[in-house]
Structure 1
């Protein structure tokens, strides 16, 4: 009987584990949208010929909604007869494009990621005046609304909305570029796992959506001003960022002078415990610079903080991912170790010691051998307050950028066609970065190309680089939030240093303006960068369509501002006498 009881208990545990694993959140490289049902299943009355067709009346709305809840703004040009479809981003060339080139390097160390991440919405709420219908003011009005829906073929309990995530909020889009150095182990790790760390951090913080609960003017009612999250961890000035936005500009603050980063409800006791545990882990595991390390957005270093924002979640996720990667590399044997040279060849295989591998799954992070390199990272998260997609001309959206290293993120402003950089290069020649690290770094030197380096590294912030962690090479991200008005910006660009090191920001923007689709724009940027480059570095470009895409050539000089210089550079690059002294 005892053996039978044990077997039943094991069976119950296995079932519970399977159920939990099935409920885990997953990253999707596609987006969900609505298409008219007539385009998928034409009406039998409007077509001829003996073919299989589904009547339009058979189409059923997607998301059930309560009659007492106001309906969101409908997608322009759509009717109630719509069908939910899943479109892979790689196939949506009119919305998204990516291009990669190995350059003259033996292999490509750049990686990228794009898709939909399961996060609570962080966009500003839509005013009631912009919704399609106000909530019923009386039971009689609610009854009449229910009867009207029933006459239109609806069951009275459903309404047409766009597909949403598991939390019920509109989809949050995720785009990232990762530039590895010394190998691709770290960039591959970020590509496969960084979005998981972000989702897990939001779940552990019990982060709530900004679209739920009472809000005033787009902000959650806190009784105090929101915390500043323009440039986190640095005091970037405009001269060092090449025209990038600073926390005091109108783009990063509202008219009242408060930060546009909206606080969200969390479990503060758990948040403080997690943050304190992470800071202590950095102090005990790495030491050096991290003995006095205090992330700017962590609640443990602030007073009177009641709620946090997504910026705090991103900071925690970045630091947690970097700590796991560095800790995993420290446990691995170093090449040339005489003790490890006598170990069996299959010492790091699962079949050699399965019990040890199961208790230490992080040992496989970054490969089987110790990886001393690292990777830069730039990610962009886009959230909309309504089910209408962010690329629609009438849809406002919120953009949050988290950046580490020298990869870049650019916006094209529709009004004047200018490039708006959202990131700064974390190099030793950056005044704020130099001030932060000179007390820890052994020395700053200038290489033969005139570039200042710190202990041989060009980046003062990066994932990995375990040998430089003690002197301050941190993965604390630079964060920025931008509120994208309807058709205010034409497109979003994410590039690695193989492009930004060769082309200026405005040249990249002007090249994309001449393309018909974002996919063609990404290919043209990589093609031009590889033609005129003198270094031959790996190059990656991601182009994302925004609401002002159709008007990208109307502002300023269009693409004519840099066309002359680009043509001259291309002619010089193909000149057979190039490089002669």
Structure 2
């Protein structure tokens, strides 16, 4: 009975999809739905996105070692203790060292780690909060630049091995954890922003898996100098060539070039066939399939090993997620009278709400709004976490819309904007869309709008896709040196439209923890705003957090202006102006 029902339901799914195909002029829409279903099923099986990070701490830092002596030597004065190295600890009370005190694996929830990450949100005066955010650890290979040989190669006879105390754990791929932070600002509703919060990280993981992305820091299968191996020893020249290639950006990692080309061409064909308009001549800058086509026309030989960059993975994941969301909304027919009279649980198997026959994105009714998106991913080349003062790391920014990301420089304390607003007033965006969107208008507030939209790039907004409102991300990579930056701030336009970049950074400087900094930024923006928009702020601690007040004049540069704004906002005569 169960098998018959499942078979009948499957037939109904493709029949509904084919009806949708006829209405859009697509013959094989079932093939277009397969990547989405595969991605979701893979994401469900993988389940490797966690909202906590894993670290190694010495067992003595959590509890006394049960294998140690009875005397409480761990409570001796600091002058009489020996620092723990993570491998062998010596007791001042004994002449013989303890044998192999192991480190303890600790899971720390990222949302509760107030000293590492903080988030705060406010609805403002809007009827609902359409902002969303996400933070966790991705299970993808590392994309960081390879560390110098002095850090990665342990020569034979090394007497001082590096300490293992408070080091991050490796993921299932064998690389250090890749941290993921995202902020999404919905408009017209929260369906699209919630979809990105729940699924965008899965699209990134699935894209990396389908591309067969390989680690950027893992050594090849050959022994290092001073080590014996089956494949022989790598020479000094080979090591220098490898390190010199790591200095170039973007970093090309190994992947399945043939599979990548097929997926990218299929995605472009889907955009051209389903949406058309702007996407008929759409050229993603990071897609390697286009460069391969250009090389083939010039009689170049494709060696099948071109590699892949993390920028290409992110661009594919963004466009794939946007296409699936728009396709799901186009498949809904909320204006059909017959469909409106159907029971709410008609799409459920045996009227069971836990087993749906089709994948719903954004609710039962067609959602015509959209969402902006800013994602920050941090990868480290060494086991030390990115917030360690001596650890270098690579920061990758993928941005769509008018959400904003800032860095605080440890040297001078200045705010460094990493994103630009995708508005019609931007010359780059205006030139990109002028041939398709001839109706650029200026509203009563003096802001340019295109077809009623303030953002020229966004997820969703299905009615504006043909004129070029796409989710093509603006990608930027920053190589962060040890303690070069103090913290990272992600915010929605409810904050960036009210406060200046330096004001936001200075508010976080005065906070004791990133969590307090996020709450202070949202509180101040909500207090002085005149629009009352949704406000969300994420603060991520970096290596220079403890030195955040040393650069320049600290937080005193905007303290006087912020105090004046607060007094002006609380002035009872303000409403009369």
- Counterpart mapping for 1:554-565 below 5 A: 554-565=550-561
Q: Aligned to 2:63, which of 21, 41, 45?
A: 41
Superposition deviation, residue 25 in structure 1: 3.8
Secondary structure of the residue that 1:100 maps to in structure 2?
strand
Match of 2:255 in 1: 266
**Which is further off, 377-386 or 29-38?**
29-38
Superposition deviation, residue 346 in structure 1: 3.6
Superposition deviation, residue 46 in structure 1: 4.6
Secondary structure of the residue that 2:46 maps to in structure 1?
coil
Distance verdict in 2 for CA 1:32–1:399, change over 3 Å: same
Secondary structure of the residue that 2:48 maps to in structure 1?
coil
Secondary structure of the residue that 2:377 maps to in structure 1?
strand
Match of 1:129 in 2: 150
Superposition deviation, residue 159 in structure 1: 12
CA–CA distance in structure 1, aligned partners of residues 43 and 312 of structure 2? 27
CA–CA distance in structure 1, aligned partners of residues 171 and 239 of structure 2? 22
CA–CA distance in structure 1, aligned partners of residues 132 and 178 of structure 2? 21
Asked whether the 8 Å contact 1:219–1:262 carries over to 2, the reply is no
Q: Deviations over 1:252-290 (max 9, x none)?
A: xx7xxx5x3211000000000000000000001111111
Match of 1:99 in 2: 120
Match of 1:328 in 2: 328
Unaligned runs of 5+ in 2: 1-40, 74-83, 88-99, 221-233, 296-304
- Counterpart mapping for 1:323-402 below 5 A: 323-334=323-334, 336-351=335-350, 358=357, 360-361=358-359, 364-402=360-398
TM-score normalised to structure 2 length:
0.79
Asked whether the 8 Å contact 1:61–1:82 carries over to 2, the reply is yes
Superposition deviation, residue 38 in structure 1: 0.8
Unaligned runs of 5+ in 1: 1-18, 49-58, 63-78, 150-157, 227-253
Q: Deviations over 1:145-182 (max 9, x none)?
A: 9xx99xxxxxxxx9996421000000000000000001
Q: Aligned to 1:280, which of 251, 264, 269?
A: 269
**Which is further off, 120-129 or 174-183?**
120-129
Match of 1:166 in 2: 172
Match of 1:113 in 2: 134
TM-score normalised to structure 1 length:
0.78
Match of 1:154 in 2: none
1:185 is aligned to 2:205 = no
**Which is further off, 267-276 or 442-451?**
442-451
Match of 1:207 in 2: 213
State how many pairs are aligned: 487
Asked whether the 8 Å contact 2:311–2:475 carries over to 1, the reply is yes
CA–CA distance in structure 2, aligned partners of residues 88 and 224 of structure 1? 38
Match of 1:316 in 2: 316
Q: Aligned to 2:427, which of 400, 415, 431?
A: 431
CA–CA distance in structure 1, aligned partners of residues 399 and 382 of structure 2? 27
Match of 2:448 in 1: 452
Asked whether the 8 Å contact 1:60–1:81 carries over to 2, the reply is no
Aligned-pair RMSD on alpha carbons? 3.2
Secondary structure of the residue that 1:343 maps to in structure 2?
coil
Distance verdict in 2 for CA 1:264–1:298, change over 3 Å: same
CA–CA distance in structure 2, aligned partners of residues 533 and 161 of structure 1? 42
Distance verdict in 2 for CA 1:22–1:113, change over 3 Å: closer
- Counterpart mapping for 1:71-110 below 5 A: 81-110=102-131
Secondary structure of the residue that 1:490 maps to in structure 2?
strand
Asked whether the 8 Å contact 1:401–1:481 carries over to 2, the reply is yes
Asked whether the 8 Å contact 1:447–1:453 carries over to 2, the reply is yes
Asked whether the 8 Å contact 1:412–1:490 carries over to 2, the reply is yes
CA–CA distance in structure 1, aligned partners of residues 145 and 394 of structure 2? 7
Distance verdict in 2 for CA 1:161–1:418, change over 3 Å: closer
